[in-house]
Structure 1
Amino acid sequence: MRLRRQATMFKDTAVESLTLSIELFNRPSALARDHAVVMMLAHSFEMLLKASIYQHRGSVRDKGDQLSHSLARCLEISLADLGTITSEEKALLTAIKQDRDAATHDTIMMSDDLLWLHMRAGITVFRRLLQDEFDVDLANVLPNRVIPVSAAPPADLHELVEQELETVRSLLAKGKRRTAEAAARLRPLLSLDGSATGRSDRPTDAEVQRAERALRGNAPWQAILPGLATLQIGTAAPGGDAQEVVLKIGKDKGAIPVRRAASGEEAEALAHRGVSPFEEYSVKLSSFGEKLGLSRHEGYALIETLALKGDDRAYFVKRTANGGVIYQGLSARALELGRKALQDPSMDLQTIVQQYQQARSRKKGSRKR
């Protein structure tokens, strides 16, 4: 395989960042260990995914964007467009991304077992991607002696979660005054929980506090972290070392069904994960076409054809009491739906534009009457 020059640079940087992440994990000093490990681990995956995307597409920017893809965007492209990662791998990498965000903007604390699980599961994904996408064996660029090893690696994720939450409960006990430490330990768990349910942003302070209240109320952890209840530790594919693991999304008998909260239900959820609609639905309708390589008018036509305004995961509108529009926007899901539609051979852009124009003309005519 002949690699593009930029893809090679991304790939080499990814290996360097992974190596540094492992060195930070293995070093005897605990100084800034949790924060530094997840920061470099997340950077290694952003670089590796960009290497893959650049090799496939020759670009790591969406049309109309000035900056290269974020890690979240890389994950979307790799799963939905290129199919280079699985949904289970995306869940893990999203959790690592959220941990990176929390470590950058807040504080996190992880037990050795939880940090090791992130590292080893991450290395499993990295190793497969490097082999499948670039025909490079990780063992040839990363000596086994630097691989993080645990004397007693955790085999049951749910048992590990229970141990973590027991520590958090002890920190929240009356008279302890250690809520800051409890919050730092909860953030990685909430990140992993959110990633299993499709969240890509870090947990907010309000969400951490809601989880703390639920723990003080002795709520079952499966109700507090329903996404985590769907995850399991599995063995890696043949060819890895003895301690290589993967995270799998399964249906545990103790798992609680997870769904998107309806309006007004947020306060009732034990660990509801919310996100600002202005961040999630940040794509203006007028720029939708441009981001897909279309004209503004073609973008509007595609919005109508795909009925995006009827999909609450793709479209958001905030109105006044009288029904006037204060804000409306589209999400990353809308862009993905648009890209998939344009790749469909049966999609005739000229026809849908004509239909859109005819529908607008009929609407204007009915208003005049």
Structure 2
Amino acid sequence: MRMRRQATLYRDSAVESLTLAIEIFNRPSPIARDHAVPMLLGHAFEMLLKSVIYQKRGTVRDKGDELTHSLGRCIGIARDDLQVITNDERALLSALKQDRDCATHDSITMSEELLWVHMRSAITLFRRLLKDEFSETLTDLLPGRAIPVSTEPPQDLRTLVEEELAIVTAYLAPGKRRGPEARARLRPLLSLDGAATGRTDPPTEAEVNRAEKELRKGVEWSKILPGLATLNVAPVSPESDAQEVILRVGKSAEAIPVRKAKRDEEALAYRSMDPFEEYGGKLSEFGKKLGLTQQQGYALIDYLDIKEDDVAYFCRKTKNGNIVYQGLSARAYEVAKKALRDGLDVEKITLEYNESQRDKRKTTSAR
């Protein structure tokens, strides 16, 4: 299939940002490397995923939205809808997104080995997507000599993490007063840890502080960062570049069981993404974005029990039970679209919904 013009522009922007990320990674000067590399890699993948999505869908906007998809939305579509990336690759991209956000809004520091792992795993995925989706070879778009190499590629991610945390622990030793440096090195580790369990937003300051507190106490790192304990560097195929890196989320003998924390449940370092980002869909605009009326949208929400699905619907209340915020996630739209494709009679359920609402108002006024 011939590439759409807009998809080509997105692809070209992706390659340009990847080239700059590689250039900054390879240069002798350490200035801005920890921040610029994740920021540029984040932009590279946002553009590449937009290229893939536009090629397949002809749009990179949800109906009713003025802005194109964010990186987080692109990752979700690529995995859940188009299935062009695996769960392991989603974890890698989620960690990269969090590192990009931390680099943009806070400070992060990575060892040379950890930064290299991020760089090379990103190149591995970028190369695969180019080949699988556009039948293009990365080395045809930029010189192979420019791709970062290491004299000793890390093979054991666990050892790498332990070395990073040894530095953090040394910074936190009594009398050192190097807490800011310790937190800067903790953030990318917390990002990778959270990505392994499904989180897509960067770690909060409270999470960083909790991790710091536990490390000061001498708690085993696999209990502080259980998601990291499930990650390993997977072997690549025989025909691949020997320096390619694939991160894989998998249970190891040392790994402790992990799960996504329930809403409002206390957890050390991971939670769902910011509800104002994940559940940004307004109930009043639900119908409009599906090509329906506002009332039909309300009827769909009621008929499909979307408010009972905490992955699709979020509601924040005061202690008195008053609603201060409610929103819908992408899942709500996916459930509704499937129901519509399956032939749901919208007119019928809307009539039933309107009748039930009238009955409720009558009952309330009779009290």
Instruction: Please give the range of the TM-score, normalised by the shorter of the 2 chains.
Output: over 0.9
Q: Matches of 1:219 and 1:101 in 2, distance apart? A: 28
For structure 2, the 5+ residue unaligned runs are: none
Q: 1:29 to 1:320 in 2, by over 3 A?
A: closer
Query: Per-residue displacement from partner, 1:115-169 (whole Å, max 9, x unpaired)?
Result: 1111111111111110111110112112220111111111111111111111111
Q: Matches of 2:152 and 2:349 in 1, distance apart? A: 60
Match of 1:98 in 2: 98
Q: Secondary structure at the match of 2:115?
A: helix
Match of 2:282 in 1: 284
TM-score, structure 1 as length reference: 0.93
TM-score, structure 2 as length reference: 0.93
CA contact (8 A) 1:223 1:270 kept: no
User: Aligned-pair distance for 1:361?
Assistant: 4.4
Q: Secondary structure at the match of 1:31?
A: coil
User: Aligned-pair distance for 1:11?
Assistant: 0.6
User: Aligned-pair distance for 1:363?
Assistant: 3.6
Q: Which 10-residue stretch deviates more, 331-340 or 236-245?
A: 331-340
Q: Matches of 1:292 and 1:192 in 2, distance apart? A: 35
CA contact (8 A) 1:10 1:47 kept: yes
Q: 1:135 to 1:190 in 2, by over 3 A?
A: same
Q: Matches of 1:83 and 1:352 in 2, distance apart? A: 32
Q: 1:161 to 1:359 in 2, by over 3 A?
A: same
Q: 1:176 to 1:124 in 2, by over 3 A?
A: same
User: Aligned-pair distance for 1:317?
Assistant: 2.1
Within the alignment, does 1:54 sit opposite 2:51 as a pair? no
Q: Matches of 2:140 and 2:264 in 1, distance apart? A: 54
Q: Secondary structure at the match of 1:247?
A: strand
Match of 1:199 in 2: 199
Match of 1:301 in 2: 299
Within the alignment, does 1:68 sit opposite 2:68 as a pair? yes
Within the alignment, does 1:330 sit opposite 2:328 as a pair? yes
User: Aligned-pair distance for 1:321?
Assistant: 4.1
Q: Matches of 2:346 and 2:105 in 1, distance apart? A: 43
The equivalences for 1:109-124 within 5 A come to 109-124=109-124
Q: Percent sequence identity over matched residues?
A: 60
Match of 2:127 in 1: 127
User: Aligned-pair distance for 1:367?
Assistant: 4.5
Q: Secondary structure at the match of 2:324?
A: strand
CA contact (8 A) 2:46 2:74 kept: yes
Match of 2:353 in 1: 356
Q: Matches of 2:60 and 2:129 in 1, distance apart? A: 17
Q: Matches of 1:253 and 1:177 in 2, distance apart? A: 36
User: Aligned-pair distance for 1:301?
Assistant: 1.9
The equivalences for 1:1-369 within 5 A come to 1-262=1-262, 265-266=265-266, 269-273=267-271, 276-342=274-340, 344-364=341-361, 366-367=363-364
Tell me which amino acid in the other structure corresponds to 1:97.
K
Q: Matches of 1:337 and 1:46 in 2, distance apart? A: 25
Q: Which 10-residue stretch deviates more, 328-337 or 295-304?
A: 328-337
For these two proteins, the number of residue pairs brought into alignment is: 366
Tell me which amino acid in the other structure corresponds to 1:353.
T
Q: Secondary structure at the match of 1:318?
A: strand
Q: Matches of 1:175 and 1:219 in 2, distance apart? A: 20
State the superposition RMSD in angstroms: 2.0
Q: Matches of 1:151 and 1:67 in 2, distance apart? A: 43
For structure 1, the 5+ residue unaligned runs are: none
